[in-house]
Amino acid sequence: MTRDAYSPATAFMVGVLGIALFSGMDAVMKGLVLAIGTIATMFWRNLTGIVLSGALYLPRRKAWPAASTMRIHVARGVLSAAMGFLFFWGLGRVPLAQAVALAFIAPLIALFLAALILKEEIGGRTIGASFIAFAGVVVIFVGQAHADLGREATIGSVAILVSAVLYALNIIIMRRQALVADPLEITFFQSLIVTTILLLALPFVGVQVPPLAQWPWLLFAAALAIASMLLLSWAYARAQASYLAATEYTAFLWAMLFGWLFFDEGVSWFTLGGALMIVAGCILAARKPQDASPALEAAT
């Protein structure tokens, strides 16, 4: 079947599955960050990702990407390195569900960026919806202050918000990237570029080989990340970014479950209420599924 043969609903469900696996990876990464640190966790996970994705991509590649495609790979790789560091650094300092709730602001930002960069139309309600979502962020910060989680948690939350802005741009680049490269190529080059960037940072931070007990978790995190990127790349090649951004909302349910199961984290009413306001704002701003055309434009 060709790309156009798949319905937007199919792409949406594949995107939901990709987010579920990505949420599982977040939980594994939180444990690794607490155990061996942010840079070490990102470096060794991405290095493992090069091996796993390379084993799938390199034997099947027909030619190296064109220069224009490589520029997109590099741009997303650089963005992902900064975005990932800020998010995982913050993740080690705030509850998992709260981190994901704050990151929910990204789909709304992506709607504005989709209009600006991809020329995708957005509804007139987007401005009002953004105020609702912003109010949700404020509610979460009020709850954080009420719970007295400390200065580290506040700084971690700010880092996650900055990461969310970068992730919104990442969503747009993902859409453009998916139009010119297949999922295996995207996954391999993202792992390669992010690892290269982290390698440049190693002389300044000093990273040692993780203990043997951590390697199964690093492999598991890499496998979850690769599977998630493959699914999301497939979905973003078949539906508009403004439509698929809504799949991000399902991550909060997984974050609540994983935070409770693995880190004994509860969810405050402030976090729950703020998350609902952010999601409500995003849903209000998003287009209806029937308005989201799967037609592909060569926006490279």
Integer Cα distance of 241 and 265 in angstroms: 32
Whole-number CA gyration radius for the chain? 19
240: helix, coil or strand? coil
Integer Cα distance of 79 and 100 in angstroms: 19
DSSP 8-state symbol, 95: -
- Determine the distance from the C-alpha atom of residue 113 to the mean position of all C-alpha atoms in its chain, rounded to a whole number: 16
Integer Cα distance of 127 and 112 in angstroms: 9
Q: pLDDT, tens digit, for every residue of 135-175?
A: 877 787 777 666 666 778 889 888 998 998 898 888 778 77
Q: What is the mean pLDDT of residues 110-116?
A: 74
Comparing 174 with 51, the larger pLDDT belongs to 51
Q: What is the mean pLDDT of residues 98-116?
A: 76
DSSP 8-state symbol, 265: -
CA distance from start to end of the chain? 23
* Residue 289 pLDDT level (bands cut at 50, 70, 90): very low
Q: What is the mean pLDDT of residues 55-64?
A: 86
Q: Is this model's pTM higher than 0.95 or not?
A: no
Integer Cα distance of 162 and 119 in angstroms: 24
Element spanning 184, H or E: helix 183-205
